[in-house]
């Protein structure tokens, strides 16, 4: 096999500061997936490594080798740096290619002295323009690592490839600084300042009025998966309804549950679960119309010839979408169509796009999700990266007739590594946030182990604090309902350590009961979480009180609640 050469142009390095005396920055959530004529400046002035000047650079060579996963990698060493255990590092660089193909995947990885690689993110680099590669890692040890850029190509080519790299940055943050980013973002994107003005009947200010504030509903959908045990287990029903106001069914709406035998549909369990949810004010994300994994089809579907498959799939889509039209807040129309392609192999490359079009025209007001795993939870998976997710979703949206489709981004979030890469997760959310579409974490669960509860809290805080995320659903529950991967309650429905984290965050992310008093102007201000509120105002000098309901939403710029006593 002939070895290809890769020429690499690197920018010169300006070292702004090393690991000593590093000062703190606010986190830069900005990103782009556009390919630009010129690279933007390095984030954080280049951070620890300071590539921040455009030059003609120097030329290096690298051999094309075969990685363990069968992909061909051109690996380039950018720099060696020392990481501090417990710190989080955000990486960014601008890259472009010439020669070779029109575009290639370029990834960043961090190589420890023992040879272990930690992947930090990737992008699609193109010819003639600059693409942003944004990623990150959390340091699990103190020591030196080598920063590598890896060009990942799935088809061997003997062509020489030239890669240009510019404005590289690696910025460290302590865990305390990272948490500060989250808290500041929560105050900015999940809360609003509310002003109260209280007057007497004659219009004069009511000084010293007592305002009691009660949040009756959260404005952020934070929910939990639900399964068929909810139909018959009263303790499970009470446990669920007391905590969550949004859900997805784990299996009960899927094709293999509702049509086990061809032509014999049975929605009994799904209908009962929908009724329970509606009776308790719980919103439902439909999960799912189709699953692109061949293994997850009803047995009778797997070997259908294309024409028969199309007929059966059309009937399935019309049946389930029409049945629950107006009763759901969204549908996963095609589940995991980056990792799998059962319908594409059978029906053609536009199979997913076609099904989204059909669902859209059946229920035009419905939000339609593309749902996928490993986009935020596994930086080593090249199949469902943020840039590939965007590419597939844009393909669906550009399909004829889909222009008005209400699309949303569904990221499952099945975290299995011993320590989740929160810095990578944030960078992936930054990148997908540039699409301007709602992002939901749809099936969050965490592998077992002594740090399970801590890891779940880190993941949920990261998702909740990110400006682009508009909903979170965890996939866990009580052991009595069969939830063994992430158990939230024991057989007596008492919370496990993981369940305690969930309960703590539910309480932390709401205003609860608050009270304030008006000043001499009859005014008072308070920062409140988005949601529905009931307010009661009273005054110690008069025998009068009043109540009012109001909402705090992210769309409202200024909220002033006016209250006036009758006397």
Residue 532 has pLDDT above 90, yes or no: yes
Backbone φ, ψ for residue 287 (5° rounding): -140, 110
Running DSSP on this structure, what letter comes out for residue 294? Answer: G
The CATH number of domain 182-215+511-564 is 3.40.640.10: no
Edge to edge, the sheet with strand 191-199 lists 523-529, 191-199, 559-564
Of 340, 330, 338, 317, the closest CA to residue 405 belongs to 330
pLDDT digits (tens, 9 = 90+) for 392-423: 999 999 999 999 999 999 999 999 988 999 99
Residue 4 has pLDDT above 90, yes or no: no
How many angstroms separate the CA atoms of 316 and 265, rounded? 9
Categorize the per-residue pLDDT at 162 as very low, low, confident or very high, splitting at 50, 70 and 90.
Answer: confident
Choose the catalytic residue: 336, 377, 412, 462: 336
What is the predicted pLDDT for the residue at 18?
33
Categorize the per-residue pLDDT at 70 as very low, low, confident or very high, splitting at 50, 70 and 90.
Answer: very low
DSSP string for residues in 228-261: GGGGT-HHHHHHHHTT-SEEEBSSTTSHHHH-SB
Q: Which two tokens stand for residue 53?
A: 């000047």
303 catalytic, yes or no? no
- For residue 383, give the 3-state DSSP assignment: coil
Q: In whole numbers, what is the pLDDT of the chain averaged over residues?
A: 90
How many angstroms separate the CA atoms of 331 and 410, rounded? 10
What is the predicted pLDDT for the residue at 233?
97
336 catalytic, yes or no? yes
Categorize the per-residue pLDDT at 121 as very low, low, confident or very high, splitting at 50, 70 and 90.
Answer: very high
Choose the catalytic residue: 104, 122, 372, 443: 443
For strands 469-474 and 143-153, give the pairing: unpaired
The CATH number of domain 5-173 is 2.60.120: yes
The CATH number of 221-508, from 3.20.20.80, 2.20.25.240, 3.40.50.620, 1.20.120.790, is 3.20.20.80
The domain spans of the chain are 5-173, 182-215+511-564, 221-508
How many angstroms separate the CA atoms of 264 and 224, rounded? 30
How many angstroms separate the CA atoms of 220 and 190, rounded? 8
How many angstroms separate the CA atoms of 1 and 253, rounded? 50
Categorize the per-residue pLDDT at 299 as very low, low, confident or very high, splitting at 50, 70 and 90.
Answer: very high
What is the predicted pLDDT for the residue at 544?
81
């Amino acid at each position: 096999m002939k070895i290809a050469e890769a020429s690499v142009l690197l920018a010169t390095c300006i070292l702004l500061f090393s690991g000593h005396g590093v000062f703190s920055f606010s986190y830069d959530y900005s990103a782009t997936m556009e390919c630009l004529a010129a690279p933007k400046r390095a984030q954080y002035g280049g951070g620890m490594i300071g590539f921040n000047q455009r030059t003609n650079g120097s030329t290096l060579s690298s051999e094309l080798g075969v990685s363990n996963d069968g992909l061909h990698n051109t690996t380039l060493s950018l720099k060696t740096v020392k990481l501090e255990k417990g710190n989080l590092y955000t990486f960014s660089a601008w890259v472009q290619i010439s020669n070779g193909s029109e575009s290639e995947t370029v990834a960043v990885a961090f190589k420890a002295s023992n040879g272990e690689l930690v992947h930090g993110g990737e992008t699609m680099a193109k010819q003639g323009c600059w693409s942003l590669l944004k990623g990150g890692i959390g340091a699990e040890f103190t020591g030196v690592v080598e920063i590598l850029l890896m060009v990942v190509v799935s088809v061997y080519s003997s062509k020489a490839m030239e890669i240009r790299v510019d404005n590289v940055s690696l910025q460290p943050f302590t865990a305390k600084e990272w948490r500060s980013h989250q808290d500041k973002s929560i105050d900015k994107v999940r809360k609003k300042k509310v002003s109260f003005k209280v007057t007497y009947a004659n219009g004069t200010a009511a000084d010293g009025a007592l305002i009691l504030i009660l949040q009756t509903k959260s404005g952020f959908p934070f929910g939990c998966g639900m399964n068929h045990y909810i139909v018959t287990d009263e303790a499970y029903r009470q446990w669920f309804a007391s905590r969550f106001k949004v859900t997805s069914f784990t299996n009960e709406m899927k094709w293999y549950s509702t049509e086990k035998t061809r032509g014999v549909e049975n929605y009994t369990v799904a209908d009962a679960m929908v009724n329970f949810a509606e009776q308790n004010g719980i919103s439902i994300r439909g999960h799912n119309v189709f699953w692109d994994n061949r293994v997850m089809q009803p047995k009778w579907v797997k070997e259908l010839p294309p024409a028969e498959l199309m007929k059966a799939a059309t009937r399935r889509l019309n049946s389930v979408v029409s049945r629950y039209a107006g009763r759901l807040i969204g549908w996963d129309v095609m589940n995991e169509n980056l990792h799998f392609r059962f319908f594409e192999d059978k029906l053609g490359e536009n199979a997913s796009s076609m099904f989204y079009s059909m669902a859209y025209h059946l229920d035009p007001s419905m939000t339609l999700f593309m749902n996928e795993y490993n986009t935020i939870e596994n930086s080593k998976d090249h199949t469902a990266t943020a840039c590939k997710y965007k590419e597939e979703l844009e393909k669906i949206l550009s399909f004829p007739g889909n222009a008005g489709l209400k699309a949303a981004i569904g990221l499952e979030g099945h975290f299995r590594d011993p320590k989740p890469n929160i810095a990578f997760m944030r960078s992936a959310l930054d990148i997908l946030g540039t699409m301007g579409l709602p992002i939901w974490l749809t099936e969050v669960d965490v592998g077992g182990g002594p740090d399970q509860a801590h890891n779940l809290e880190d993941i949920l805080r990261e998702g909740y604090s990110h400006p682009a995320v508009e909903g979170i659903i965890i996939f866990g529950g009580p052991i009595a309902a069969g939830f063994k991967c992430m158990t939230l309650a024991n057989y007596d429905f008492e919370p496990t350590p993981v369940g305690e984290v969930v309960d703590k965050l539910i309480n932390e992310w709401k205003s609860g009961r608050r009270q304030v008093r008006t000043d001499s102007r009859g005014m008072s201000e308070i920062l409140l979480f988005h949601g529905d509120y009931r307010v009661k105002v009273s005054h110690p000098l008069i025998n009068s009180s009043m109540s009012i309901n109001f909402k705090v939403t992210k769309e409202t710029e200024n909220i002033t609640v006016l209250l006036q006593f009758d006397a």
